[in-house]
Structure 1
Amino acid sequence: MTLTHEEMDRKIDEHFGFEAADNVEGVLATLSPDVEHDIVGWPAGPTHGPDGARGFYEALFADLSDGKVECRKRLYGKDFLVDESLWRGKAPGRPFGIEGRNRPLEFRLLHVIEFAGNGDIRRENVWVDLASIIRQLPQD
């Protein structure tokens, strides 16, 4: 079964909505049981299954707050999409190992999302503009 662009949009927007609400269980419910979860540069490397992704989301929600994702552009293929977004919020924790000190932060994200036939996310590959994060959170 091939998903429509609208079905893909609904699933990724649901996923981002759970992220904005810091809802770990909600985010994990959007993933397929065999999901490959790959945040490029994350020290643990790619993980498999929702339980493998849990640690990333728990750390993310502790490190970043008040996040809003603004979609800039989406490209679609057969059962996948590429989403270019801008994340804006605060950094109360240590996002990507950098002391946030509750400072405002914004950075670009690139998601490559592959979908299972039932619409769940089968692969989430995320690229983060780490240079922008480092520039905005100088360590003085």
Structure 2
Amino acid sequence: MALSRQDMDRRMDEHFHFEATDDVEGVLGTLSADVDHDIVGWPTGPTRGRPAARGFYETLFADLADGRIDCTRRLYGPDFLVDESVWSGRAVGRPFGLEGANRPLSFRLLHVVEFAESGEIRRENVWLDLASILQQLAPPSSAA
């Protein structure tokens, strides 16, 4: 049985709420036990299972703070959604290897999410605008 759009929205909004409140256990609870978790460009590459996804969220929550996700568009299929959003908050650690220095940060995200019949997220694929992050956080180049 396919999930309704409302069911998918509810689960994604719950997932984003747990991310916004730095709740690792809450985020992991939205994922299936055998989740395929792929943050494109993340050093570990794609991972499988909640324990493997934990490290990403622990690092993310140490590096970014006061995060807010504003959805700009969602597209739906029978067991998946595509979520286009903008993340905004502060870079307090070293997000993506760049010194945050508690600076404001904003970037676009694209989530491709597949759901299990239970409503849990069984696959999360995330694409982010690294060029925008680099533009905001990379040290200015010195003219030689």
How far, CA to CA, are the matches of 2:33 and 2:14 in structure 1?
17
Report % sequence identity: 69
Q: Please give the TM-score of this superposition, normalised by the length of structure 1.
A: 0.99
The match for 1:33 is 33
The match for 2:78 is 78
| Structure 1 stretches of at least 4 aligned residues deviating more than 6 Å after TM superposition | none
Q: CA deviation at 1:138?
A: 2.5
Note the 1:40-59 alignment, pairs <5 A. 40-59=40-59
- RMSD of aligned C-alpha atoms? 0.6
Note the 1:55-66 alignment, pairs <5 A. 55-66=55-66
The match for 1:8 is 8
The letter for the 2-side match of 1:132 is: S
Query: 2:92 aligned with 1:88, yes or no?
Result: no
How far, CA to CA, are the matches of 2:138 and 2:10 in structure 1?
37
Question: SS of the counterpart of 1:54?
Answer: helix
How far, CA to CA, are the matches of 2:63 and 2:12 in structure 1?
22
How far, CA to CA, are the matches of 1:138 and 1:42 in structure 2?
18
How far, CA to CA, are the matches of 1:138 and 1:29 in structure 2?
34
Q: CA deviation at 1:106?
A: 0.1
Q: Any stretches of 5+ residues in structure 2 without a counterpart? A: none
Q: Any stretches of 5+ residues in structure 1 without a counterpart? A: none
Q: Please give the TM-score of this superposition, normalised by the length of structure 2.
A: 0.96
How far, CA to CA, are the matches of 1:118 and 1:54 in structure 2?
21
Larger radius of gyration: 2
Q: CA deviation at 1:78?
A: 1.0
Q: Deviations over 1:61-109 (max 9, x none)?
A: 0000000000000000010000000000000101111111110000000
Give the count of matched residue pairs: 140
How far, CA to CA, are the matches of 2:78 and 2:16 in structure 1?
21
How far, CA to CA, are the matches of 2:60 and 2:79 in structure 1?
27
The match for 2:132 is 132
The letter for the 2-side match of 1:41 is: G
